Structure 1
Amino acid sequence: MAFAADGEGPSASMLNMGLNALWIMVAAILVLLMQGGFILLETGSTRMKNAGHVAGKTIFTVGLVSLVYWAVGYGFAFGTEAGEGLNKFIGIGDFFFNPAISAGEADNYPSTIFFVFQLAFAAVSLSIAWGGFAERAKLSAYLIFTLIFGSVIYPVIAHWIWGGGWLAEDGSQDYAGSTVVHLTGAMAAFAATILLKPRIGKFNKDGSANEILGHNQVFTSLSVLLLWVGWFGFNAGSAVAVGDGFFGYVAFTTQLGAAGGAVAALLISWLVKGKADIGVMLNGALAGLVAITASCAYVEPWAAVVIGLVAGVLVFLSQAFFEKIKVDDPIAAMSVHGAAGVWGTLANGLFATQALVEKVGIGQKGLFYGGGGHQLWVQFESVVVCGAYAFAASFIVLWIIKQVIGLRVTEEQEIIGLDLSEHGNYGYPEALKKSNVSV
């Protein structure tokens, strides 16, 4: 009506900006809603006595990381005032982010919406890390680690690859975060599992493992569906534009990768165990999604299927490996997000096509398309450096927390459950009573 009143319409650039803004905002909402998937995944994969704790601390830490990322994390990831030399390693600027209230004529999208989108990614990486803390960490440890992870662990890696840092200059291809988001969270989880040590009753004296079953497989199945849907915001949203509809192609390859992971994981578990393991299949779907995240904009459809199939087999083998070396990973974070994240990042060095590389404008074509080993080396470099930094930084922070205030609840608190010991109430008050706390 306003346009009609003054006889003028919006310019083509403003219309394009508005469409971009709308799509990025929808994608950001989808990614943020993935936290509902993480709540159900961790709750369903653990025991009833910890259900309220799992759900509540997820909401609390999403709130806390939002404040931290606004204050300093976004500035370290995407700030542009560091100077040419320092900018290779860290961003400076935009601390306590205070953007313009609307986009200008020359902008592709409002900076406010880009911030919300990137914040949702940081929150996902943090929630991945919580898999290594599950059922035995103090609430205070979650609080302190959130402050550090959201300010200087995740943002530094995001800057290296997405913020114009040295790996970006090398041509590292990680379209939506197999390394930046998933491997970073998984390495933090790995550090936590080492320092926290296994849950009571997980391993016997002879080294054999006991299966500590989650209490609700329906929750875990629903969580995977929620995460799967949210992933379209995660991957397709990373186009940060409507343009010619390229985000649709990204969504297409994402679906193929997820499907391949789910099918391969179910079949390999059926073949090896003699029974089709639903939990493994669910992890396979997530592993396929994690793996295709780096390559969804760079590979042809057949390659997306192969990437998903390999991820589904890999997550099954990885879970068995971590259990064999006595690492207690209740949510399989290191397998789903770590092993699959590594594979997905390396896969670009094999399957990236010339046409899609030119479309995205980052890096070179992969080995199988005549690119030689250059892009594969860059992808390997990204995995090693980012994984090592995320693990070392997380380990140091968690080790200091352990020495100063302690990481793990007492044996008595762990036995009665974190719902009661940390919060004074049960997530299932009608199902659990003080006389029955071993569930």
Structure 2
Amino acid sequence: MLITQNLMHVASTFAAEATAGTAATAESAATLASQISANALTTNNVWMMLATALVFIMHLGFAGVEAGFTQAKNTVNILFKNTLTPAIGLLSYAVVGFVMMYPSEWIVDGVFGIGFGLSAPTGADGSLDLTYNAGYTYWTDFLFQGMFAATTATIVSGAVAERIKISSYLIFTAIYVSFVYPLVGSWHWGGGFLAELGFHDFAGSTIVHSVGGWAALAGIIVLGPRLGKYTKDGKANDLPGSSVPLAVIGVFLLWLGWFGFNGGSVLSADPASTSLVLVTTSLSACAGAVSSIIAAKLLLKRLDLGMGLNGILAGLVGITAGADLMSPMEAIIIGLISGVIVVVAAISLDKLKLDDCVGAIPVHLATGVFGTLAVGIFGSKAGMDQVINQLIGIGAIGATSFVCSFIIFKGLDMIRGIRVSEEHEKTGLDSHEHGMRGYTIVFDE
């Protein structure tokens, strides 16, 4: 909060000088101090709202990536999910998630807190005061955090695409964002036991990305692979996506959104911290793109654009936990490693016959875990004690997220089924579930 501190220092200086002067001068100085406080809050709050908008646009990026990487016959289904995910996610977070993630009362100290309903505390109704926070208002805080919550659910969408019932996916989203994400998030960002331990996750390599990745892994295990994805001898068939250009646009929209995702996590418009975070974020993404393409060339014997796109995202996920702690060179190293990890993880999933349509698990889970662990290896917090703290956080959040997700998916499968019929999967979900197609070419007679 360097801006606020500096401005408040100026105001204090005026106030001190006024003490020695007349009563009128003192009153003028007090007014000036109040104005400076309001201006500082406005500056920080405007940046946080802009960051919120950038995170929101990431949902369009996810829609583009998922629709581009999946088959044309399921395009409307993909876009339908990506349209309703932020809507359901934000509503769920408003009703339950926000106050559960930042509990006013711990039922089990540092582990589980409670609170239901979205209402501002007394004096923090969104007006320009410092009652709630010195950097932004209560409502801005809610909206910024709500966008993160909805992003977590969106990660699952791409992995389970092309064979999950839309209703089952939406039910899962509502439950996961309402209860599971806020629970594990409260352990660190809500001041729970991981925060007390010293675990560090700046913007969510674990709390957002791997939480979504663990849920995606549980989902594809319960669902099984798409029809025709794997041959009897275990080889993976390429099921071509509908639009490579759309996938590229989606990745660049996600990269743009990450400036708000990581930059906004500074939680102020502090110029030094924000600019460093944006630099480390971008450099890691660039390094991830380069290393993933090289790794794909060595392992797959081709210049794979899809791997390069996921390499960009891997670099972004990998730096997210420690973007505030790393030097530019350390960010490049993290990005280079993340780009290799995403390629190896994607190949490994296919060997295990785990069908992830868009590479969500390699991107968000594999590099999310690495990025969180990297906080203890690189940067200003590096050390064995920090490595242990990071491992504890990764283990606790990962185990909880996977087990809860598996229970939800398996429960839905037992109650109502979560996979579409074989006929619907073969002909495409668009015509059966939505009655329309994503791509229609009309030829004149």
Deviation (angstroms), 1:229: 0.7
Native 8 Å contact 1:290 1:337 kept in 2: yes
Encode CA deviations 1:1-30: one digit per residue, 9 max, x unaligned: xxxxxx966522211111110000000000
Larger radius of gyration: 2
Name the structure 2 match of 1:190: 217
The partner residue of 1:366 within 382, 391, 394 is 382
Distance in 2 between residues matched to 1:101 and 1:302, nearest whole Å: 40
95-104 or 119-128, larger mean C-alpha shift:
95-104
401-410 or 295-304, larger mean C-alpha shift:
295-304
> Between Structure 1 and Structure 2, how many residues are aligned?
409
The partner residue of 1:423 within 415, 430, 434 is 434
Name the structure 2 match of 1:104: 129
Name the structure 1 match of 2:65: 41
Deviation (angstroms), 1:66: 1.2
Compared CA separation, residues 244 and 284, structure 1 to 2 (3 A)? closer
- Alignment-mate amino acid for residue 366 of structure 1: A
> SS of the residue aligned with 1:91?
strand
Distance in 1 between residues matched to 2:292 and 2:440, nearest whole Å: 36
The partner residue of 1:116 within 124, 134, 143 is 143
Share of identical aligned residues, percent?
Answer: 40
Distance in 1 between residues matched to 2:101 and 2:138, nearest whole Å: 14
Native 8 Å contact 1:239 1:247 kept in 2: yes
TM-score (ref. length: structure 2): 0.89
**Residues 37-436 of structure 1: pairs in structure 2 closer than 5 A:** 37-82=61-106, 86-93=108-115, 95-98=117-120, 100-106=125-131, 107-108=133-134, 109-353=136-380, 365-367=381-383, 373-430=384-441
Distance in 2 between residues matched to 1:71 and 1:189, nearest whole Å: 24
- Alignment-mate amino acid for residue 308 of structure 1: G
374-383 or 10-19, larger mean C-alpha shift:
10-19
Native 8 Å contact 1:266 1:280 kept in 2: yes
Q: Which segments of 5 or more consecutive residues in structure 1 lack a partner in the other structure?
A: 1-6, 354-364, 368-372, 433-439
Distance in 2 between residues matched to 1:431 and 1:218, nearest whole Å: 21
Distance in 2 between residues matched to 1:415 and 1:431, nearest whole Å: 23
- Alignment-mate amino acid for residue 75 of structure 2: A
Encode CA deviations 1:154-194: one digit per residue, 9 max, x unaligned: 11111111110111111111000000000000000000100
Distance in 2 between residues matched to 1:178 and 1:104, nearest whole Å: 32
Deviation (angstroms), 1:94: 5.4
Encode CA deviations 1:35-69: one digit per residue, 9 max, x unaligned: 00000000000011111111112111211111111
CA RMSD of aligned residues (A): 1.7
Distance in 2 between residues matched to 1:134 and 1:406, nearest whole Å: 15
Compared CA separation, residues 298 and 407, structure 1 to 2 (3 A)? same
Native 8 Å contact 1:91 1:163 kept in 2: no
Native 8 Å contact 1:75 1:97 kept in 2: no
Deviation (angstroms), 1:295: 0.9
- Alignment-mate amino acid for residue 103 of structure 2: G
Native 8 Å contact 2:284 2:315 kept in 1: yes
Deviation (angstroms), 1:338: 0.5
Deviation (angstroms), 1:98: 4.3
Distance in 2 between residues matched to 1:163 and 1:101, nearest whole Å: 21
TM-score (ref. length: structure 1): 0.90
Name the structure 2 match of 1:360: none
Distance in 1 between residues matched to 2:39 and 2:130, nearest whole Å: 10
Encode CA deviations 1:374-425: one digit per residue, 9 max, x unaligned: 0001111111111111110000011010001000000001111111111111
Native 8 Å contact 2:81 2:157 kept in 1: no
Encode CA deviations 1:70-120: one digit per residue, 9 max, x unaligned: 00011110122226xx24012323523346142424432101001000000
Native 8 Å contact 2:42 2:128 kept in 1: no
Name the structure 2 match of 1:358: none
Name the structure 2 match of 1:362: none
> SS of the residue aligned with 1:327?
coil
> SS of the residue aligned with 1:214?
coil
Deviation (angstroms), 1:285: 0.5
Deviation (angstroms), 1:219: 0.9
> SS of the residue aligned with 1:141?
helix
Distance in 2 between residues matched to 1:292 and 1:148, nearest whole Å: 28
Q: Which segments of 5 or more consecutive residues in structure 2 lack a partner in the other structure?
A: 1-27
Name the structure 1 match of 2:3: none
Native 8 Å contact 1:80 1:87 kept in 2: no
Distance in 2 between residues matched to 1:140 and 1:395, nearest whole Å: 17
129-138 or 392-401, larger mean C-alpha shift:
129-138
